[in-house]
Structure formats: C-alpha cells, structure tokens
Amino acid sequence: MPILVITGTGTEVGKTVTTAAVAAAAVAAGRSVAVLKAAQTGVRPDERGDAEEVARLAGAVTASEVARFPEPLAPGTAARRAGMAPVHPQDVAEAAAKLATEHELVLVEGAGGLLVRFDAAGGTLADAARLLNAPVLVVASAGLGTLNTTELTARELRARELELLGVVIGSWPGSPDLASRCNVADLPEVAGAPLLGAVPAGAGALAPADFRAMAPSWLSARLDGSWDAEAFRGRVAP
C-alpha cells in the first residue's frame, strides 16, 4: 500500500487529524511517509495548511500540496473565484506518484468529501484514486447522520470499483451518546468494510510528542496501530 487516499464523509469530520494519526503510526513503525493535500482552500499563503498540520503532529513527514486557494470553498469554485488554474485529478495523481518514488507511504488527503469537484470538468478525488489505483480510507463522524453519509460514500467507491480499505471515526467524543455507541457496530455494516480506528475528539490539540506516542492506540493493525475493534465495541456497546 504505497499510496493511500484519505477522504471524509463531509467537512469537519476529523480528516486531517486522522491523516496525522495514520502518518504518526506509520512513522513509528519505521516507514518513510509523505502527505499530499490535493487542494488546500481557505488558507492564506503565509498560513499553515492541512499538510503542514499533519507534519506538525506526526513528526518526520514530508508535507506537500498540489494547489492552494484563498477562499474556504470547494476547490473548483475557489479556483474559479480566485482566477487561478484549477487542480485536475491527473495533477494529484502525478504528484502522489512522484512522492511514492521517494517514500514508503504517501497519504493523499482530499478536500471535504469524495465527490467535491476540483475543476469545471467535474474531476474529483475519486478520479485521482482511480488514476493511482489506490485504496481509499473513509473518515466518518461518530453521531447521528453518519450512517447515511458513510453508506453513500461506500456505494460510490464500489460503483467506481475503488477499494474501500475501511472506516475511521475521526472524532470520538469523550461522552458518546446512544447514536454514537450504536454506530460503532453499524458503521462497518453500512460501509461493507472494517472499522479501523477511532480518534479521540480534541486529539489535534495534544502536544505533538503526546500525539505521536498515542496515535497507534487509535488505529488498527492495518494502519500500523494496536486498536482492537471488537474490544472497543465491547466497551461502548449500549
């Protein structure tokens, strides 16, 4: 798995912090890692973007982005409004493939969900994953509504014949409600893929050294971690 595409079921689901956790666990396992942000929006040239945030938390990670647009909009819209050239799926695939010649693992983080448009032709992260023939990790929210968005994302991946590696809950609450606790069992069923981890809410606010030390405990062995889905389900089951 030299390249892994990471998408969310929507915005604000914990995608960047989950990407950082995957990167940190891989680094701890002795792998060289790069993270590529397909399209960074809503960030000024002098501000830290998502890829840089992953590197801050995860440590020895190469951070890169294909393009950056100032307004916090879908990449295609942000590029058009800024009068800038858009990102195309081929651009993302080429950048990821180049990084893969120099690193053992490349994490390609999307913007928003799987089908957020990059360009006027309707190119998406899913198209980049197809060009790369790379598996996709889906980051989902914990609570009410997540089953619908997760299943829709999983169905789209299957329709495009893309491999869904699994699902990670991107922000597991300290005091989960009934829906969240039930969703631990239901998410892998609706996704048709395993639950591969649960990142605690607020993990991104940890000191980087603490984040790196704890990250493997939030992810399963498939992602270089020690998290056990059955044990977690047993602890939180209603």
Residue 116: the pLDDT is 96
Catalytic residue numbers read 37
Name the β-bridge partners of 142.
none
Residue type at position 111: A
- The gap between the terminal CA atoms of the chain, to the nearest Å, is 35
Q: Which residues contact 164 (CB under 8 A, 6 or more apart)?
A: 135, 136, 138, 154, 157, 158, 191, 192, 193
Q: How far apart are CA 125 and CA 31, in angstroms?
A: 25
Residue 10: the pLDDT is 92
Q: In which element (H, E) is residue 48 found? A: none
Q: Identify the CA nearest to 31 among candidates 3, 57, 52, 56.
A: 3
Residue ranges of the domains in the chain? Answer: 3-236
Residue 175: the pLDDT is 96
CA 212 from centroid of its chain's CA atoms: 17
Residue 68: the pLDDT is 95
Q: How far apart are CA 217 and CA 178, in angstroms?
A: 23
Residue 66: the pLDDT is 96
In this structure, CATH architecture of domain 3-236: 3-Layer(aba) Sandwich (3.40)
> Mean pLDDT, 10 residues at a time, over the chain (238 residues)?
94 96 98 97 91 96 96 96 96 97 97 94 97 98 97 98 98 97 97 98 98 98 97 93
Task: Answer whether 225's CB lies under 8 Å from 216's CB.
Answer: yes
Q: How far apart are CA 13 and CA 176, in angstroms?
A: 15
pTM metric for this prediction: 0.96
DSSP string, 127-172: HHHHHHT--EEEEE-SSTTHHHHHHHHHHHHHHTT--EEEEEEEEE
Residue 1: the pLDDT is 66
